[in-house]
Amino acid sequence: MLRFLLTSVFASVVLAVSAAGYGACAISDSAVVGENINSSFPMHSVMKFVQALYVADKCDLSATIEVDKASLLQDTWSPMLSTFEGKHRFSVRQLLSFSLQQSDNNACDILFASCGAPSDVEAYLRSLGFDDIKLRHTEREMHYNPSLSADNSATPLAMAQLLRWFFIHHLDNANFMEVWDMLAACATGSDRLPAAFPDARVVAHKTGTGFPHPDGSFDANDAGIVLLPGAAPLAVAVFVPVGAGVSVADAARALLRQL
């Protein structure tokens, strides 16, 4: 019964968001194009990119954290679970790699517990001048109450602006450069932004996927920097709720045609 109630609540939240259709924004130099660029959408695991900026700016990536496998969620997306038994020490760098490249939910939450809570990451965003990106909940909290994912939200414009900020500053320090390399080696979402830009030299991106609905459908997001030959860097954010009737790749291709 609890699972039914959670699913019903989550569905009502998603239907409210989906009424706006999908959201997409691309920024290239001074050009800004998009669809519903000022509407808020759940970030899902795109929020791991936001977290990564805070971790890279505030934490020692070489520091190690002892992780007890028994304390982690066992029924969530977490490739790191297959890499150890019992207790093991992971570096912040390793956890960040699991989180960004493989979208590991446990790695994300260990970073929240050890480096800075969602409220710290949101305060960091505010200090940078980004007011339309909200980060309120951990993966564990959303695991037990999927409707909370709507609170971790962003407008496509704000996310594209944050991506552009990151590209401008990614050479400022070694940690940001490592985040860039991790995003460029993202192992998820080959059918999303990478599919929309097959000729790109680099697609440095972070995907986000919503909790599955009873029919198996789910929100699909992707946000990243695309480096195309002979073109200015392109910051792209695409949020596609269930029922929007478009794929991430098609929404991104539509953005490119508008530039």
Over residues 116-155, the pLDDT tens digits come to 999 999 999 999 999 999 999 999 999 999 999 999 999 9
Identity of the amino acid at 209: T
Predicted pLDDT at 9? 39
**Burial state string for 57-79 with b = 16 or more CB within 10 A and e = fewer than 16:** bebebeeebebeeeebeeebbbe
Q: What gap in Å lies between CA 32 and CA 47, rounded to an integer?
A: 22
Q: What gap in Å lies between CA 10 and CA 52, rounded to an integer?
A: 27
Residue count of the chain, please give it: 259
H-helix or E-strand spanning residue 208: strand 202-209
pTM of the model: 0.92
Give the chain's residues under pLDDT 50: 1-19
DSSP bridge partners of 202 = 227
Chain center to CA of 56: 15
Task: Report the relative pairing of strands 153-154 and 31-35 from DSSP bridges.
Answer: unpaired
Q: How many CB atoms lie within 10 A of CB 173?
A: 12
Q: What gap in Å lies between CA 102 and CA 77, rounded to an integer?
A: 9
Q: What gap in Å lies between CA 228 and CA 226, rounded to an integer?
A: 6
Residue 18's nearest CA partner among 217, 205, 235, 252 is 217
